[in-house]
Structure 1
Amino acid sequence: MIPAPIDRSVRIREIRDASFRILSAHGPKALTLRRLAEELGGSSTLVTHIFGTRSALLRGITESAIEDYDEEIAQLEQGADARQRLRILLEWMLPLDEEQARAERGRIMLVGHSDRHLGVTDFSLRMEHKMRQLLRTHLRELVNDGEVEDTVEYVRVFTNGVVLSAAERPSSWSADRQQRVVDQLLRRLGIS
């Protein structure tokens, strides 16, 4: 029997999601190719066929996450005006459900890992650059040109703070509470 061909992009997403589950639950040291294969329910070749080394895995899950962001956001924002698009983006950046919270805890664990040769620093820098780029694009339509960069800084500090707070104390940061503070932020920016 010939095995069914795998869709490489689907497999990469599966590996990425499993990697963030491991990171969230056990931290960066637990993210090994063997542990990842176990999480996916198969042999190590399930992972090594796509990513031959741990370093390649970290680069790959970073690239996969960043590549998917534009598509995810575009789908969410279809038909929305500029204010609605900003609100959608802000909510997308926050861990409003358990799956998103788990992924954020995994990213936080990864960013907190200081092993530079594994590409973690690159992961952190690329993610931060992408988040700021998305904010900049959304804010250009809503604030004066001279205020865009300061507003990006302000909103990024806000989102980082909410994400970290929700990851540290999920029982205190329900989706409803996160959405209420987004409402407050938008009012303070004069964008509500």
Structure 2
Amino acid sequence: MPRPVDETGRRREIAKATLRIAERCGANAVTIRAVAEELGRSTAFVTNYVPSRAQLMFNALDHARHLWVEARSQAIEGRAGRTRLVELARWMCTTDEHDTALRGLWIEVLAGSGPETAVIADITDRTFTEFERAAREADLEHAAEIADILYLYARGFHVKNVEDPVVWSDDRVNRALAVLLERLLGSDEPRLVA
């Protein structure tokens, strides 16, 4: 009798290989053949679990989703109002170990037109909802617009960080973010400048 296959483990293995390729060579280098070579397996092995290039990238993003949700929760845990809004904005404008590669994959998936784009939009919409919640909690005038501005600022950073991560570093973006937060929230807010 054949042993049962751990499909979740196989998809995780494929996700990690996809991410390694994206980190080394960029998202445009991610192909089924490249992932198969990275794993030392056949392309049939990869397509058995992840049947298309778009789903390869989505699989890696889905693998990272729980890490993003956990990191976001930790960044804003125990915070309310303006402080929650500020910490969420800072978290969105920082880069952890795999973020640049994952952002590149995210952009590639969004550029496609498959069902994966709806799932990716759901992930980012949940962060936008956090911006809205924090802005309303802070009882800010124009709370919805402030949430829009901060969300768009952070998403713009993610794109520029993929295009040129050296120039658009966390430090540069967070200095500008501090100015933006001071203007949006008022200069009386303590410790906005990092």
2:102 corresponds in structure 1 to: 103
Alignment RMSD: 3.6
Per-residue deviation, residues 140-179 of structure 1 (Å, max 9, x unmatched): 32244x7332222111221122222333232222322222
1:15 aligns to 2:10 (yes or no): no
Shift in Å, 1:42: 4.6
Shift in Å, 1:34: 3.0
Counterparts of 1:69-148 in structure 2 under 5 Å? 69-97=68-96, 99-112=98-111, 114=112, 116=113, 118-144=114-140, 147-148=142-143
Question: What is the aligned counterpart of 1:157 among 152, 160, 173?
Answer: 152
- Residues 56, 96 of structure 1: alpha-carbon distance in 2 compared, 3 angstrom cutoff: closer
Letter in 1 for 2:90: E
Q: Hey, what's the Cα distance between the residues in 1 that align with 2:139 and 2:37?
A: 49
Shift in Å, 1:124: 4.8
For the Cα contact (< 8 Å) 1:23–1:110, is it kept in 2? no
Shift in Å, 1:187: 0.9
For the Cα contact (< 8 Å) 2:26–2:101, is it kept in 1? no
Unaligned runs of 5+ in 2: none
Shift in Å, 1:131: 3.0
Counterparts of 1:17-36 in structure 2 under 5 Å? 17-23=16-22, 25-28=25-28, 30-36=29-35
Per-residue deviation, residues 34-65 of structure 1 (Å, max 9, x unmatched): 32233345555764564344454455444444
1:188 aligns to 2:183 (yes or no): yes
Letter in 2 for 1:121: T
1:170 corresponds in structure 2 to: 165
Q: Hey, what's the Cα distance between the residues in 2 that align with 1:7 and 1:77?
A: 34
- Residues 48, 88 of structure 1: alpha-carbon distance in 2 compared, 3 angstrom cutoff: farther
Q: Hey, what's the Cα distance between the residues in 2 that align with 1:18 and 1:92?
A: 26
Q: Hey, what's the Cα distance between the residues in 1 that align with 2:107 and 2:173?
A: 18
Q: Hey, what's the Cα distance between the residues in 2 that align with 1:56 and 1:108?
A: 13
Instruction: Name which one, 1 or 2, has greater alpha-carbon Rg.
Output: 2
Percent of residue pairs bearing the same amino acid type? 26
> How many residue pairs are counted as aligned between the two chains?
185
For the Cα contact (< 8 Å) 1:27–1:109, is it kept in 2? yes
- Residues 49, 180 of structure 1: alpha-carbon distance in 2 compared, 3 angstrom cutoff: same
Per-residue deviation, residues 88-144 of structure 1 (Å, max 9, x unmatched): 3223323535632232233223323x3x2x435335533442331232233232244
